[in-house]
Amino acid sequence: MAFRKAVKGTLIGGGAIATAFGLSQFFEYRNNQARLAYVEAQGELKVPFKDALPTREEQLSTLRNTEVFDVLVVGGGATGSGCALDAVTRNLKTALVERSDFSSGTSSRSTKLIHGGVRYLQKAIMKLDYEQYMMVKEALHERANLLNIAPHLSAPLPIMLPVYKWWQLPYYWAGIKMYDLVAGSQCLKSSYVLSKSKALELFPMLKKDKLVGAIVYYDGQHNDARMNLAIALTAARHGAAIANYTEVVHLLKKPDPKTGQEKVCGAHCRDIITGQEFDVRARCVINATGPFTDSLRKMDNQKTANICQPSAGVHIVIPGYYSPDNMGLLDPATSDGRVIFFLPWEKMTVAGTTDTPTEVTAHPIPVEDDINFILSEVRNYLSPDVEVRRGDVLAAWSGIRPLVTDPNSKDTQSICRNHIVNISDSGLITIAGGKWTTYRSMAEETLDAAIKAHNLSAGPSRTVGLMLDGGKDWTPTLYIRLVQDYGLENEVAQHLAATYGGRAFEVAKMAKVTGKRWPIVGKRLVSEFPYIESEVQYAVKEYACTAIDVIARRTRLGFLNVQAADEALPRIVEIMGNELQWTEQKKKEELEAAKKYLHLEMGYKARSEQLSKTTEISLTAPEIARYKKRFYKFDKESKGFITTVDVQQVLEKLSIQIDENALHEILNEVDLNKNGQVELDEFLQLMSAVQRGQISDSRLAILMKTVEEGLDLRGPVSVDRSGGGV
DSSP 529: S
CB 17, CB 173: distance < 8 Å:
no
Interior/surface letters 462-473, b for 16+ CB within 10 angstroms, e for the rest: bbbebbbbbbee
Residues of the chain with pLDDT under 50: 1-14, 16-21, 23-27, 29-43, 411-413, 614-615, 711-712, 714-723
Q: How far apart are CA 145 and CA 151, in angstroms?
A: 10
Measured over the CA atoms of residue 97, residue 102, residue 105 and residue 110, the dihedral's sign is: positive
Q: Classify burial at 581, counting beta carbons within 10 Å of its beta carbon; exposed 0-12, middle 13-18, buried 19 or more.
A: exposed
pLDDT on residue 587: 97
pLDDT on residue 220: 97
Q: Which SS3 state, helix, strand or coil, does residue 123 take?
A: helix
Region for residue 244 given its phi and psi (left: phi exceeds 0; alpha: psi -120 to 50; beta: otherwise): beta
Report, in this order, helix, strand and coil percent for the chain, each rounded to 5: 45, 20, 35
Region for residue 253 given its phi and psi (left: phi exceeds 0; alpha: psi -120 to 50; beta: otherwise): beta
Q: How far apart are CA 601 and CA 397, in angstroms?
A: 6
pLDDT on residue 472: 92
Q: How far apart are CA 39 and CA 465, in angstroms?
A: 9
CB 304, CB 432: distance < 8 Å:
no
DSSP 521: B
Q: How far apart are CA 719 and CA 453, in angstroms?
A: 64
How many CB atoms within 10 Å of residue 271? 20
pLDDT on residue 720: 42
Query: What pTM does this model have?
Result: 0.85
Interior/surface letters 213-226, b for 16+ CB within 10 angstroms, e for the rest: bbbbbbbbbbbbbb
CB under 8 Å to 43, separation ≥6 — which residues? none
pLDDT on residue 2: 40
Residue 651 has, within 13 A of its CA and on its CB side, a CA count of 19
Q: How far apart are CA 2 and CA 212, in angstroms?
A: 15
Q: How far apart are CA 12 and CA 125, in angstroms?
A: 9
- CA-CA distances (angstroms) from residue 378 to 151, 315, 316, 371? 30, 12, 11, 11
What separation, in Å, do the N-terminal and C-terminal C-alpha atoms of the chain show? 47
3-class secondary structure for 662-708? HHHHHHHCCCCCCCCCEEHHHHHHHHHHHHHCCCCCCHHHHHHHHHH
Which among 116, 346, 113 has a CA at the least distance from the CA of 221? Answer: 113
Which among 603, 665, 675 has a CA at the least distance from the CA of 640? Answer: 675
Region for residue 366 given its phi and psi (left: phi exceeds 0; alpha: psi -120 to 50; beta: otherwise): beta
pLDDT on residue 650: 82
pLDDT on residue 27: 45
Residue 111 has, within 13 A of its CA and on its CB side, a CA count of 25
How many CB atoms within 10 Å of residue 557? 27
Domains of the chain: 35-108+226-307+406-454 (3.50.50.60), 113-221+310-402 (3.30.9.10), 477-609 (1.10.8.870), 615-713 (1.10.238.10)
**Per residue in 139-162, pLDDT tens?**
999 999 999 999 999 999 999 999
DSSP 351: E
Which among 425, 443, 424, 426 has a CA at the least distance from the CA of 434? Answer: 443
CB under 8 Å to 704, separation ≥6 — which residues? 630, 631, 633, 634
Omega before 405 cis (within 30°)? Answer: no
What would you report as the CA-atom Rg of the chain, rounded to the nearest whole angstrom? 27
